[in-house]
Amino acid sequence: MIKVFFIGTGNLGTQLCQAMEKSHSDNVQVVGYSNDSNRKINDIKAPLFVGSIPLCDLVVLAVPDDKIQLVSDGLSKSQATVVHTSGSVDVNLLSRFDDYGVFYIPQTFSKGRSIDLSEVTFCLEASNDSTMEQLELVASTLSRKRKKVNSAQRRQLHLAAVYMNNFVNHCYHKAAELLEQSAMDTDLLEPLMIETLKKAQELGPKNAQTGPAMRGDQNTINKHIALLIDSDREMYRAITHSIKNSHGKKL
């Protein structure tokens, strides 16, 4: 039985902790957690620990990237493996521990929204083979998909995830603002969003690209730019330029 302790109960930490508890696995047990507020999370059954860490096999640092160093420096060395969950922080930040690694999940997590982790790939990195086996076992209780990814690959994956998730969602937000300005609802674009994703998956994103930038339709591009406020024109021009450049269109 691998006993797991969580430090940090943000969106990711809470969902990971809950998922491990709900798995009812004979291999993994959440023995406790701690957080900045020192307040009990009702959706987590394991006990809250303040100022101490119980005997455990794995400590998961589910804290913001800029807090990993600070939190890890505050831990005493023990027999427990210590891992962080960041997509962009090097594994060697934890190298003062004997056994350490990374437990990265390329997925978006939001408060109050539960994610089915069974189809999400867990990206693992470890300081040695035995630690990798330990992380593989823990991940296997949550998902059928695991992949060994080194720090350089993980940084690239995290960057790609920002493009695919954060930037795409921001574009959806800007589209919603444009519709609201003309008293229209975002429901009008939901079928387009669904088809865009399906087509990108089936054809590949480069082959699925359409639109005025792809066609080199400068007349339509100019009309769009004229409709935008100054602060949004730069983003429109930058994305248009990138599409043209990617498809060999004359700039």
Please give the backbone phi and psi of residue 148, each rounded to the nearest 5 degrees, phi first: -80, 125
CB 218 within 8 A of CB 246: no
Round the average pLDDT of the chain to a whole number and report it.
94
Residues 51, 223: Cα–Cα separation, whole Å:
60
Q: Is the pLDDT of residue 243 over 70?
A: yes
The pLDDT-based confidence of 249 (bands split at 50, 70, 90) is low
- The least confident of 32-36, 135-139, 164-168, 236-240 is 32-36
What is the average per-residue pLDDT within 41-70?
A: 90
| Burial bucket for residue 109 (CB in 10 Å: 0-12, 13-18, 19+) | middle
Q: Is the pLDDT of residue 251 over 70?
A: no
End-to-end CA distance of the chain: 60
What is the average per-residue pLDDT within 111-122?
A: 90
38-54 residue pLDDT tens: 888 888 889 888 878 88
Q: Is the pLDDT of residue 33 over 90?
A: no
The pLDDT-based confidence of 154 (bands split at 50, 70, 90) is very high
Q: Is the pLDDT of residue 32 over 80?
A: yes
Start and end residues for every CATH 1.10.1040.20 domain found in the chain: 154-246
Q: What percent of the chain has pLDDT over 90?
A: 81
106 CB neighbour count, 10 Å cutoff: 18
**Topology of domain 154-246, per CATH?**
N-(1-d-carboxylethyl)-l-norvaline Dehydrogenase; domain 2 (1.10.1040)
Q: Which residue has the tokens 């590949």?
A: 204
Q: Which CATH superfamily is domain 2-149 in?
A: NAD(P)-binding Rossmann-like Domain (3.40.50.720)
Residues 22, 221: Cα–Cα separation, whole Å:
51
State residue 113's pLDDT score.
87
Q: Is the pLDDT of residue 191 over 60?
A: yes
CB 115 within 8 A of CB 109: yes
State residue 15's pLDDT score.
92
SS3 percent helix, strand, coil of the chain, rounded to 5, is 50, 15, 35
SS3 61: strand
198-242 residue pLDDT tens: 999 999 999 999 999 999 999 999 999 999 999 999 999 999 999
pTM over 0.95: no
Q: CA–CA distance from 51 to each of 17, 35, 45, 201 (Å)?
A: 19, 10, 19, 47
Q: Is the pLDDT of residue 30 over 70?
A: yes
Q: Write the Ramachandran bin of 38: left for phi over 0, alpha for psi from -120 to 50, otherwise beta.
A: left
- The least confident of 22-31, 96-105, 189-198 is 22-31
State residue 250's pLDDT score.
58
State residue 151's pLDDT score.
97
Name the strands in the sheet holding 122-126, side by side, starting at the edge strand that comes first in the sequence: 28-34, 2-7, 58-61, 81-84, 100-104, 122-126, 146-148
SS3 244: helix
41 alpha-carbon distance from chain centroid: 22
Q: Is the pLDDT of residue 140 over 90?
A: yes
Residues 233, 183: Cα–Cα separation, whole Å:
21
